[in-house]
Amino acid sequence: MTDREMRKALRAVVTKAVNRADPVYLLEMGAPDDEYEPEILSLIDGLADAWPDQQKVLQLCADVFIPWFGPQAPSRRRLKRLAAELVRGLNALARSAGTR
């Protein structure tokens, strides 16, 4: 997998996980599919230091979403689901790319 293909695959994994978890219920309320774009980019930037540790990924998710939406807005349950989905998706991506 080329670097470009890997970045594209990484972005797809993170976007899918964020949109499925919908941590602030925005998509559920009818927001456009790209509503979480700034948060997705921030997650991508921080994942190299957090993954594969699920607790570090969870902390990264909180560090990304709480400043944008406040401490009460992101559902803790949905942040946990997001962290788990990110770790699962990144592990699968790493296996398919032959890394980690």
Per-residue pLDDT tens for 9-18?
A: 999 999 999 9
Q: Is the pLDDT of residue 100 over 60?
A: no
Of 19, 18, 76, nearest to 43 by C-alpha is 18
Q: Is the pLDDT of residue 71 over 90?
A: no
Q: What percent of the chain has pLDDT over 70?
A: 98
Alpha helices in 1-100 (DSSP H): 3-21, 37-50, 54-69, 76-97
Q: How far apart are CA 49 and CA 56, in angstroms?
A: 8
pLDDT of residue 99: 62
36 versus 71: the higher-pLDDT residue is: 36
Backbone Cα Rg of the chain: 13
97 versus 93: the higher-pLDDT residue is: 93
Q: Is the pLDDT of residue 34 over 90?
A: yes
How much is the mean pLDDT over the chain? Answer: 94
Contact 51, 12 (CB under 8 A): no
pLDDT of residue 35: 95
pLDDT of residue 33: 92
